[in-house]
A and B are shown apart, each in its own frame.
Chain A
Amino acid sequence: DAGVIQSPRHEVTEMGQEVTLRCKPISGHNSLFWYRQTMMRGLELLIYFNNNVPIDDSGMPEDRFSAKMPNASFSTLKIQPSEPRDSAVYFCASSLRISNTGELFFGEGSRLTVL
C-alpha cells in the first residue's frame, strides 16, 4: 500500500510568493494532520482534520496560512504571502481514526525554503 504522499518534496521560492503544499493520505484513513518542523521550534502541529472537517487549527501561525481538505484523499496547505521565517519541513500525517490510540503515518515531508 502506498503511504502518505506529499508534494513537492522540495520548494524554493522568494518572499511574497504563494506556496501550496499537497498531501494524499493513506486510503481509508479519516484523520489528517499537518506538522511543521524547524530547528528552533521542533515539531509543531498546525492543523488536523477528521472526516475532512478541520477540528483544531490553533497551531496555524497566522492568517497567511490556510489548509483545506476538499475530499478524503487530498489536502493542501497554503502560505500566502510566504516569508523567510516560514522555511521549514512540512509533514503531513494520516491516521485511521481520531482516537489518540492510533499511530500517525507520516509522509516524507516537503522542505520549503523562502528566500
Chain B
Amino acid sequence: AQKVTQAQTEISVVEKEDVTLDCVYETRDTTYYLFWYKQPPSGELVFLIRRNSFDEQNEISGRYSWNFQKSTSSFNFTITASQVVDSAVYFCALSEETSGSRLTFGEGTQLTVNP
C-alpha cells in the first residue's frame, strides 16, 4: 500500500530564512511519481512539481528546490530565503504506476513565514 508521511505538522520561520519540508513515502511499485502541492490561505491546491522514480536529479526552480533520495524514500522540499507569501500548507503526494492517477497525499505541513 502506498503511504506518504509529512512528520512536520507546523513550521514557523522568519522571513529570509531557509526552510526544508520533509516527505517520506512508502510504495511497493518500482515506478511511481511524487508531487508537491501548495495550499495557500485562499484554499486552492496549486501544483508545484512532479518527479518520477527513475529521475533522482535534484531540481531547482527559483527559490524552490527538491531533493529526491530513493535510498531513504524521501522527497524533501526546500524554500530558500523564505517570504511571507510562502505561508501555506504544503502537501507531498504519491501515485503508483499500478494505481493510475490516484494521488495519495501526506498530512500536510503548515508553513508560516513571519515578517
Using a CB–CB cutoff of 8 Å, the interface residues on chain A facing chain B are 31, 33, 42-43, 45, 48, 50, 55-56, 89, 91, 93, 95, 98-109, 111
Interface residue count on the B side (C-beta < 8 Å): 26
Contact B47 A104 (CB under 8 A): yes
Cβ-defined partner of B103 (8 Å) among A55, A104, A109? A104
Taking CB atoms, residues of chain B closer than 8 Å to A108 are 42-44
Contact A42 B100 (CB under 8 A): no
Using a CB–CB cutoff of 8 Å, the interface residues on chain B facing chain A are 32-33, 35, 37, 42-47, 50, 52, 91, 95-97, 99-108
With known contacts A56-B102, A102-B101, A42–B108 Cβ distance under 8 A: yes
Tell me how far the C-beta of B110 lies from the nearest C-beta in chain A, rounded to whole angstroms.
Answer: 11
Taking CB atoms, residues of chain B closer than 8 Å to A48 are 100-102
Residue of B nearest to A106 (CB): B45
Contact B44 A103 (CB under 8 A): no
With known contacts A91-B45, A106-B44, A43–B101 Cβ distance under 8 A: no
Contact A101 B100 (CB under 8 A): no
Pairs A–B under 8 Å by Cβ, sample size 13: A33-B101, A42-B105, A42-B107, A42-B108, A43-B91, A50-B100, A56-B100, A98-B100, A99-B100, A104-B45, A104-B101, A105-B47, A106-B45
Tell me how far the C-beta of A90 lies from the nearest C-beta in chain B, rounded to whole angstroms.
Answer: 11
Contact A98 B101 (CB under 8 A): yes
Contact B44 A109 (CB under 8 A): yes
With known contacts A43-B105, A101-B52, A109–B43 Cβ distance under 8 A: yes
Contact B108 A100 (CB under 8 A): no
Contact B44 A31 (CB under 8 A): no
